[in-house]
Copies of this chain bind each other. A is one copy, B any other.
Amino acid sequence: MNNTGMHEECGIFGIISPENGRKLGNLTYFGLYALQHRGQESAGIAVKNGSKILCHKNVGLVSEVFNDEILQKLDGETSIGHVRYSTSGGSSGINAQPIVSNLKFGNIALSHNGNITNSEKLKFELEKRGAIFQTDADSEILLHLIAQSDTDDFYTALNESLKKLEGAFCFLIIYDDKLIAVKDRNSTRPLCVGKLKDKTVISSESCALEMIDAEFIREIEPAEVLVVDKSGNMKTSKFTPETDKKFCIFEYIYFARPDSVFWGVDVHSARKIMGEKLAEKFKFNADIVIPVPDSGISAALGFSAKSKIPYEKGIIRNHYIGRTFINPTQELRNMKVKMKLNPVKSIIKGKKVVLVDDSIVRGTTSRKLVRLVKEAGAVEVHVAISSPPVISPCFLGMDTPTCDELIANSMSINEIAEHIGADSLVYLSVEELVESIKEVKGFCTKCFCNE
């Protein structure tokens, strides 16, 4: 799929330490660095030092937004960070997070990953009651709900506010001298806790715990509100008893880093099994299995292991892509795809190829890629997709394609195969997909289903 915009994703990361002077800014930097795949648009870190919250955020990669001098100033007892993926928003970084604000409970910093589905309604009501919204992010909504709460107790206000939010959300909040982690009742997005000696760490993915040598403790549970104090004591509660785990299965398919683990099942192994199941359904002869890098690699390895068709690194991915888009000349067809993905002629030439990708959304990239692979000399190109046809837009996503844009919504599998120029096309069924991750229960698979 390679960033064709199925969801708007973010990464969040937080630490609380018994005392100041532990370089929380640097630790948060390394955590965000490991979550960079979840968002390359902007990055930010907020640190509470005594009663003061300091924040630095801007558009750019983690390594571009921060330097040693800036991080040195970002020290304190509690820290949260954020990386944001977004095609929307302006260049001046207004939508970058964390959001730091003052409200009747004092100053609060907040990082958010997710999409509030009743945001329009809530915004309307909040505005009616006097709220002003300064960013495009619906992350502001929780702050306003808390701020407008009638109660004088922050935690009551927080719980009541969370109950009003629909959709997907993970929040990290610095309030008072606590670090608070929150997940929606469906556990749609990942969030987990770890320990780094006397410090408590919370992260979107476990790979960021690994990065700083922190030990994984457990997932945040559906509707959980976890309050961690500086001594590392954790007080857990649920903002609602009505939970219904529906973890976004696309975290396993595409979003997460393969070395991350959710509920005991690592992403890489899950993807391998998806690939094995694809192999079982594959009815043709082929010479080599090629992943679309990087997201198709694990599934392709599984496909190869099962089918005994050799795995080959038939497409090279170029990682030096910068921000500036250079106009190709008329002579340069397919340049946008070729800037990233380069088929290796010597591997592909004369071969019957199985191309393994994680998903097809609009079909545009797949079509160009199949053409590139055929131009590189493949005699047959069979496409294997480690997920079912996407037929519904994500009801949790803001910038996702509409029904009309989803190719699987208007075409049969055979028609899609023809459209993208593939000699055959195989998908997983929803059942096969879920079966690939059978140790984990409770997935959201709505984008594969007609509503």
A residues touching B (Cβ–Cβ < 8 Å)?
22-23, 26-27, 29-30, 33-34, 36, 40, 54-58, 61-64, 66-68, 70-71, 90-94, 99-104, 123-124, 127-134, 140, 143-144, 147-149, 196-197, 207, 210-213, 257-259, 261, 266, 268-269, 297-298, 301, 305, 310-313, 316, 318-329, 331-333, 335, 338-339, 342-347
**How many whole Å from A448's CB to the nearest CB in chain B?**
25
Q: How far is the CA of A23 from the CA of B131 in the complex (A)?
A: 33
Chain A interface, DSSP helix/strand/loop, else mixed: mixed
**24 A-B contact pairs sorted by A residue (CB < 8 Å):** A23-B329, A26-B329, A27-B332, A33-B320, A34-B342, A55-B92, A62-B322, A63-B321, A63-B323, A101-B132, A102-B123, A102-B132, A104-B130, A127-B147, A130-B130, A131-B131, A132-B147, A197-B331, A207-B342, A259-B342, A266-B347, A268-B313, A269-B346, A301-B313
Q: How far is the CA of A298 from the CA of B100 in the complex (A)?
A: 45
Across the interface, name the chain B residue whose C-beta is closest to A23: B329
Contacting pair A71 B326 (CB below 8 A): yes
**How many whole Å from A436's CB to the nearest CB in chain B?**
15
A331-B213 CB under 8 A given contacts A268-B347, A305-B310: yes
Across the interface, name the chain B residue whose C-beta is closest to A125: B104
Q: How far is the CA of A144 from the CA of B103 in the complex (A)?
A: 12
**How many whole Å from A220's CB to the nearest CB in chain B?**
20
Contacting pair B123 A132 (CB below 8 A): no
Which residues of B sit under 8 angstroms from A257, Cβ to Cβ? Answer: 316
- Most chain B CB within 10 A, of A40, A58, A99, A346, is at A346
Which residues of B sit under 8 angstroms from A298, Cβ to Cβ? Answer: 313
Contacting pair B144 A130 (CB below 8 A): yes
Q: How far is the CA of A22 from the CA of B329 in the complex (A)?
A: 8
Contacting pair B322 A63 (CB below 8 A): yes
Closest 6 CB pairs of A and B: A63-B322, A266-B346, A130-B148, A259-B344, A104-B127, A319-B319
**How many whole Å from A446's CB to the nearest CB in chain B?**
27
* Cross-interface CB contact of A101 among B102, B133, B312, B347, cutoff 8 Å: B133
Which residues of B sit under 8 angstroms from A133, Cβ to Cβ? Answer: 101-103
Contacting pair A346 B94 (CB below 8 A): no
